[in-house]
Amino acid sequence: MDVGERIERLLITPLRELKVQVSIELDNGEIRTFTGYRCQHDNSRGPMKGGLRYHPQVDAEESQGLASLMTWKTAVVNLPYGGAKGGIAVDPSTLSHKELERLTRKFVDQIHEVIGPTRDIPGPDMNTNPQVMAWLMDQYSKYNGHSPAVVTGKPVELYGSRGRESATARGLLAIARQILRDVGLPLQGTRLAVHGFGNVGSHVARLFHEAGAVLVGVSDVHGGLLNEAGLDVPALFEHVRRHGSVKGFGGGRACATEDILVADCDVLVPAAIGGVIDQHVAKEVRARIVLEGANAPCTPEADELFEQRGVLVVPDILANAGGVTVSYFEWVQNLQHVSWDEERVHQELERVMAEAYEKVGQISRSRKLPLRTSAYVLAIGRVGKATVLRGI
């Protein structure tokens, strides 16, 4: 891209990193101390935006990596945002509801000076949900007055946006429609495999099924299922609702979680954790298209192999940007004190995703680059330009 070494250094260096102590009293009276992080990567295009993760592996490095991914993602879909990320190193399944609330409020006490509707707007990520976002909004509002726009992913009853829950999957479907059209495959009858069955994966399975695709494999952390003839998706949802996992569903052959990554299919959607497709897995992948629902599911080595093998990879910063896009719509609604109906959310989302795909596709065709590199060219170009225009 020829941006020069100095701009390169500027773009990879986070603007601000915060590491805080989060101490709470447990229900049994004991004191427990956790560490919280917030990395704010870049704000040249607007206030910074990024999720809040509650997971034992959260640390400064992970927050840095994911914060920069948010800078590029918001730039690819042209939202007026920069990137941030953070969380608390904790296994929330070990805490009670009340302890989780105290933990969230204490974290806000520690970071409230650096977040805000015009500074940094957190949202949900792994193991955080609309309830956690509601506590965050409430605690921040104690310092600053009523501030729904400080956080997104809130419950619909408390300033959340309609359509947020399925937004990432809906964005993935919008991109899939375009890419399948470009490679000449009809969505009707396309064989789909989904790794991960949480917010992203389950809605992908449902929406693609409703659009005529055939779900031939699915897995979650407990195990996987295969059925070449297609899984009965409504019955699968009923099973998950009752048992909390896809495991044990009778309508398919049981397999290991990872087997889904190498299932015989047309489109593979990794929608669980990062780094699951390395060069060893990539060698075995049988899909023609890998649509990245998760953040960073493919390692750089896997990416290279896919390039050599002619497997089309639609990168996370384009493919899964539907979530942050509807988060942006939530922020806009909060700032204007209005509420959009679901139809409007879906239409605006389709428009944003189609525009981003078109731009990335143009770069890919004209410069003969893979989609990931093309998305980075678009994003880094936009962020670099804003940085220079504002002045260092």
Residue 117 beta carbon to ligand NAD: minimum distance, rounded to whole angstroms: 20
* Size of residue set near ligand NAD by CB under 6 A: 21
By beta-carbon proximity to ligand NAD, the closer residue of 295 and 387 is 295
CB 147 within 8 A of CB 116: yes
Contact 274, 297 (CB under 8 A): yes
Token pair, residue 277, equals: 């497709």
Q: Looking at residue 261, what DSSP letter applies? A: G
Would you call 245 helix, strand, or coil by DSSP?
coil
Residue in 36, 50, 83, 293 binding ligand NAD, rule: CB under 6 A: 293
**Residue 320 in contact with ligand NAD, rule: CB under 6 A:** yes
* Choice between 221 and 388, CB closer to ligand NAD: 221
Q: Phi/psi zone of residue 152: left (φ > 0), alpha (ψ -120 to 50 degrees), beta? A: beta
**223 belongs to the binding site for ligand NAD (CB under 6 A):** no
Q: At what angle do helices 167-183 and 342-367 cross, to 10 degrees?
A: 40
Rounded Cα–Cα distance for residues 315 and 370 (Å): 9
How far apart (Å, rounded) are the C-alpha atoms in residues 44 and 382?
10
Binding residue for ligand NAD, selected from 1, 183, 221, 235, defined by CB under 6 A = 221
Specify the amino acid at residue 206: R
Which of 41-49, 103-111, 291-299, 375-383 is the region at the interface with ligand NAD (rule: CB under 6 A)? 291-299
Q: Could you tell me how far CA 220 lies from the centroid of its own chain?
A: 17
Burial environment of residue 184 by CB neighbours within 10 A (0 to 12, 13 to 18, 19 or more): exposed
State which residue, 168 or 387, has the beta carbon closest to ligand NAD: 168
Residues in region 122-181 near ligand NAD by CB under 6 A = 125-126, 168
**Contact residue for ligand NAD among 37, 72, 140, 197 (CB under 6 A):** 197
Residue 85 appears among annotated catalytic residues: yes
Residue with tokens 């941006």: 3
* Per-residue mark of binding to ligand NAD, 238-277 (x: CB under 6 A): -------------------x-------------xxxx---
How far apart are CB 271 and ligand NAD at their closest, in Å?
5
The reply on whether position 199 binds ligand NAD by CB under 6 A is yes
Give me the least distance between CB of 125 and ligand NAD, in Å please: 6
Q: Which residue, 201, 203, 254, 246, is CA-closest to 226?
A: 254
Of 49, 73, 85, 247, which is the active-site residue? Answer: 85
Kindly list the residues in this chain that would bind ligand NAD in the complex (CB under 6 A): 125-126, 168, 196-201, 220-221, 257, 271-274, 293-295, 320, 323
Active site residues: 85
